[in-house]
Amino acid sequence: DAGVIQSPRHEVTEMGQEVTLRCKPISGHDYLFWYRQTMMRGLELLIYFNNNVPIDDSGMPEDRFSAKMPNASFSTLKIQPSEPRDSAVYFCASSPGTVGYYEQYFGPGTRLTVT
């Protein structure tokens, strides 16, 4: 099993540009999560999906952020337009079932730098 795959691993962009982060969950996992990690705010849950349907997006910081899951094997997190304060490491994670019983499997993360 290849684990959760994220791309790109590093992204450097200028303020105002659109950024798209990609995630491929582990095959057979029904849940997909997007997190953001910064030194100041720690690990924040942005949004999660169950069977490709967004369940809770209350952590999405503002309308500049959007996430989609068009099928069970692919999800995107888009920031448009990007701002310097969006600089962070973005993690995707997947889980085979409800996290009350199952662990989450994290990808290696995408380090985003907005200049």
Partner 1 sequence: GNSVTQMEGPVTLSEEAFLTINCTYTATGYPSLFWYVQYPGEGLQLLLKATKADDKGSNKGFEATYRKETTSFHLEKGSVQVSDSAVYFCALSLRYSSASKIIFGSGTRLSIRP
The binding site for partner 1 (CB under 8 A) comprises: 4, 31, 42-43, 45, 48, 50, 55-56, 91, 93, 95, 98-101, 103-109
81 vs 16: CA distance, rounded Å? 4
77 vs 67: CA distance, rounded Å? 4
**Which distant-in-sequence residues (6+ apart) come within 8 Å of 57 by Cβ?**
46, 47, 67
81 vs 72: CA distance, rounded Å? 27
Backbone angles phi and psi of 60, in degrees to 5: -65, 125
Closest to partner 1 by CB, 61 or 108 = 108
CB of 104 to partner 1, least distance (A): 6
Closest to partner 1 by CB, 38 or 80 = 38
CB of 97 to partner 1, least distance (A): 8
Neighbours of 107 (CB within 10 A): 22
Closest to partner 1 by CB, 59 or 81 = 59
CB of 15 to partner 1, least distance (A): 26
CB of 45 to partner 1, least distance (A): 6
Closest to partner 1 by CB, 81 or 108 = 108
